[in-house]
Amino acid sequence: MSHIDEKTKINLSPKNLISIIILVITFTGVYYSLQAQIQEAKELPVQPPINQQLQEAIIKTNAELEFIKQELSDIKQQMSTMESRLYELK
């Protein structure tokens, strides 16, 4: 078994050397890209838990349903008034 020391010669073709350089540059680029994405994610606001979002959606939906019920009640009253006026005309 040979020992690696200062006198050891490594034979690399230019093709292999360029491949190694490109590989190192690629990994370095990916590392810094991931670091930037991690930093950006740290700066984003915290999302409320899903349960809280569901509760807010339910409250909003209930309020909308109450509004629709009131509108329907108003429409029914108007229809009743219109029917009574129509019967008076006959």
Report pLDDT for 16: 92
Taking the CB of residue 3, how many other CB atoms lie within 10 A of it?
6
Structure-block tokens of residue 78? 């108007």
Stated pTM of the model: 0.44
**What average pLDDT does the structure give for the chain?**
89
**Residue pLDDT, tens place only, 32-74:** 999 999 999 999 888 777 788 888 899 999 999 999 999 999 9
Indicate the pLDDT class of residue 86, thresholds 50, 70 and 90: confident
How far is Cα 21 from Cα 30, in angstroms, rounded to an integer? 14
Report pLDDT for 90: 65
